[in-house]
Structure 1
Amino acid sequence: MKLLFICSNNFKTVSGGGSQCTNRNYLSLCEILGNDKVDVIQLDTPLEKNLNSILSRFGNYTKGYNAGLTKKVITTILEESSKYNYIFMDSSFYGILCKYLKKNNYKGQIICFFHNVEHKMYLQEVRANPLKFWRSIIIYYNEKNAVKFSDQVIVLSERDLMDLGQIYKKSPQFKTHVIPISFKYSYPAGDIDLHEQSKLPPVFLFVGSEWFANIHGITWFVEEVLDHVDIKLQIAGGASNVLKKKLINSKIEYLGFVPDLSLNIIEADFILAPIFKGGGMKVKICEALMYGKNIIGTKEAFMGYDLDLDKTGAECNNKSEFINIINECSSSKKQKFNMYNRNRFLETYSFASTLEKFKSVFERSETPASNVYTKI
């Protein structure tokens, strides 16, 4: 069996939530099929700031091409598709490619991985910036085709599965899998002090890219909560670079982009996740579970996770709840390492646990690859 893995995120290195998930997907497929049986096409998405590049990108959008797809790329994939029993789309942005493959009589299995229900999530961003509405149409068109023409679809959570059904009215032959986010590398609990106590005032760490939901959430927290609690707030990732000139507070330490956050996470007393928007699952929660950290977050932050939140940390959804819980955390020292969270990671959100779910994707008998190619 051979598989073609199509992505735009970096599949080898992890630089954010999306690439973490792409990397996990790629490594899982290699583990199941073998490294030599998985070929990769990583699409180029950066937009160069020149007129030709902008016009080319706009021209692709008018054809429904998204996230690095072009006519040339699609033609190449169609020509090569007969070599592969499976084509794995690491994004629902590539629905138009699913359509072309089926229309050109590709006989293998098309598997599409939904990082989010992108149309639903993008509409949240459109509410803040209505000028982006035109792109939501392209995203809807691609996701609709991904649902219609994929043989199997993988989502991160039951919520995403429900949203797909409501938005795109999936057909009866549609086969779906729910495979939550997971991490390849499991931090060994034996290497840290399981009895270490939190500092006073405690250090709360927020990790996030410049993604709109992260910026919205941590901005809200700083403006509404921070002045009412006795903590040190660390902000790491792309959000740090965006906000350091906008949100000035002596309680905040901006860490910027940190290539390896493991030490920062281990040293933090609590992980903070005030996220109110978005979809899919929040990778930062999985990472915090891996390190056995206590987590204070919203309902949205914990969406898709099967956790006893009283043992995980606390769920807070408004100003007063955050203030009350955090003041409780600041009133006395707490045990920094949360064994419950670590065990939940090992049981459900480790690479080994989700690998078993990926194997179910390949339980169908092998289908022959197509030998038919038609120009688009």
Structure 2
Amino acid sequence: MCRKKILFISSRLEATNKNGAYIVSNRNYKMLQNVSEIKVFNVEMKSKIQRILNIIFLKRCEGISLVDENKIEKIIKDEKINIVFLDTSSYGYLCEKLKKKSGIKIVVFCHDINYFLYKSILNGVKNNILEKFKLKKILKNSEINEKKSFEKADVIITLNKRDSKLLNQKYKIESTIEIPVSFPNKNLDGKLDLFKSNIKNLLFVGVADFFPNMEGLNFFIREVLPHIDANLYIVGKNMEKYREIFENISKKVKVIGTVEKLEDYYCSADAIIAPIFSGGGMKVKTAEALMYGKTVFGTTEAFEGYELDYDKAGGLCNTAEEFIEKINNYIEKDNIKQKLNQYSRDIFLEKYSYNSSEEKFKEIIENIG
């Protein structure tokens, strides 16, 4: 049987992104590469002026332009593409064009339901009038594009039950299949002694300038850290910009910032914190922490979509009091020197490794027709 030709369209495949979206997009690409012939169209970052024009006048989202859409149509025709895999739900105008002109099969992958993601971010912006205006426009564009995408898609992939429910709630359309975040398995051979300290070391991993990350860090440093006997290390792209601010709040805070390899930091940490209160989809860093066999203390949002025993993995904490109580109880345990949480590691291997999602991608491509 002839292998189907897929055009994979994404704005997230630049490895320099160093964020959760890249990790999931790269997973999607690798899974499809295993089951079909695949060509990639990378939606590149535009200039600031182009982005403004695209958002305000053309109602486009996530960097795609009319020029990109024309290039994509040409590639589909020239390369005899059978399936378009959209690594976002935000390219609705493109979906509309493709269905009208070619009737090609379209798969839409939802990193989250963008309407609700931007709504939650907008609700968190208080005094910045310009930022509010921009987010309101993006929110409206997301709503328009998602509606078009979902109406034209042959297959809709969501990450979890919550996103499937939100999809149906907003657009009255059902998800075809849920494929949660997954990671390639790694050998746990990182360094264990990066943090030279006599007290316990907690780790937060996340990119800077993303509202849910900054909101969660500010909460944890101000409301939780003063009441626990532990240091907090912060690792993530561009977090070094906030070194002075965070370290001035508490001497227990150590901002590392951008790093080439996260492995040594995960392996050296006694536990991971995930104080995330807003956002959508699934938190990729939760799966990553489980992959490294770490104890994780996180909010309902941080654990959204993960099927596990919170107490065995670490703790479900939605208030400062819950974080303080559960982390202090953990610190007081006699086995605190054991940095590997075998339960977390086992749950990862069972449910959130690449092996757990490969068959689902294969099934989609085989059955799409």
**TM score, norm. by length of structure 2:** 0.89
Deviation at 1:68, TM superposition (A): 2.1
1:201 aligns with one of 199, 202, 213: 199
Secondary structure of the structure 2 residue equivalent to 1:238: coil
Deviation at 1:107, TM superposition (A): 2.8
Report what 2:92 is aligned to.
Answer: 95
Does the alignment pair 1:66 with 2:67?
Answer: no
Identity %: 37
Report what 1:45 is aligned to.
Answer: 45
Does the alignment pair 1:122 with 2:123?
Answer: no
Secondary structure of the structure 2 residue equivalent to 1:205: strand
Give the Cα separation in 2 of the matches to 1:240 and 1:116. 24
Give the Cα separation in 1 of the matches to 2:105 and 2:323. 47
Identify which of structures 1 and 2 has the higher relative contact order when contacts are C-alpha pairs closer than 8 Å and 6+ apart: 1
Contact 1:236 1:256 in 2 (8 A): yes
Report what 1:2 is aligned to.
Answer: 5
Contact 2:202 2:272 in 1 (8 A): yes
Contact 1:266 1:291 in 2 (8 A): yes
Deviation at 1:14, TM superposition (A): 6.6
Task: In structure 1, list runs of 5 or more residues that go unmatched.
Answer: 49-53, 367-376
Judged with a 3 Å threshold, the aligned counterparts in structure 2 of structure 1 residues 327 and 252 are, in CA distance, closer, same or farther, namely: same
Report what 2:51 is aligned to.
Answer: 57
Runs of 4+ that moved beyond 3 A: 11-14, 191-194
Q: Residues 30-50 of structure 1, C-alpha deviation per residue, up to 9 Å, x if partnerless?
A: 0111xxx210110112434xx
Deviation at 1:128, TM superposition (A): 3.0
Does the alignment pair 1:220 with 2:214?
Answer: no
Give the Cα separation in 2 of the matches to 1:175 and 1:225. 38
Give the Cα separation in 2 of the matches to 1:365 and 1:39. 18
Report what 1:85 is aligned to.
Answer: 82
Contact 1:14 1:20 in 2 (8 A): no
Q: 1:135-150 alignment to 2 at 5 Å?
A: 135-150=138-153
Secondary structure of the structure 1 residue equivalent to 2:176: strand
Q: Which amino acid aligns with 2:172?
A: K
Q: 1:267-286 alignment to 2 at 5 Å?
A: 267-286=268-287
Judged with a 3 Å threshold, the aligned counterparts in structure 2 of structure 1 residues 153 and 365 are, in CA distance, closer, same or farther, namely: closer
Contact 2:272 2:294 in 1 (8 A): yes
Deviation at 1:139, TM superposition (A): 1.1
Q: Which amino acid aligns with 1:235?
A: I
Does the alignment pair 1:27 with 2:30?
Answer: yes
Contact 1:74 1:97 in 2 (8 A): yes
Give the Cα separation in 1 of the matches to 2:53 and 2:47. 13
Deviation at 1:175, TM superposition (A): 5.6
Q: Which amino acid aligns with 2:216?
A: G
Give the Cα separation in 2 of the matches to 1:360 and 1:177. 10
Q: Which amino acid aligns with 1:179?
A: I
Deviation at 1:245, TM superposition (A): 2.7
Moved more, 227-236 or 61-70: 61-70
Secondary structure of the structure 2 residue equivalent to 1:296: strand
Secondary structure of the structure 2 residue equivalent to 1:203: strand
Give the Cα separation in 1 of the matches to 2:175 and 2:282. 21
Deviation at 1:330, TM superposition (A): 2.4
Give the Cα separation in 1 of the matches to 2:52 and 2:276. 32
Contact 1:182 1:351 in 2 (8 A): yes
Q: 1:254-333 alignment to 2 at 5 Å?
A: 254-333=255-334
Q: Which amino acid aligns with 1:154?
A: I
Report what 1:188 is aligned to.
Answer: 187
Deviation at 1:12, TM superposition (A): 5.6
Report what 2:128 is aligned to.
Answer: none
Give the Cα separation in 2 of the matches to 1:60 and 1:292. 43
Q: Which amino acid aligns with 1:306?
A: E
**TM score, norm. by length of structure 1:** 0.88
Report what 2:228 is aligned to.
Answer: 229
Give the Cα separation in 1 of the matches to 2:191 and 2:8. 41
Contact 2:98 2:104 in 1 (8 A): no
Contact 1:98 1:149 in 2 (8 A): yes
Does the alignment pair 1:240 with 2:239?
Answer: yes
Give the Cα separation in 2 of the matches to 1:187 and 1:80. 36
Give the Cα separation in 2 of the matches to 1:268 and 1:250. 18
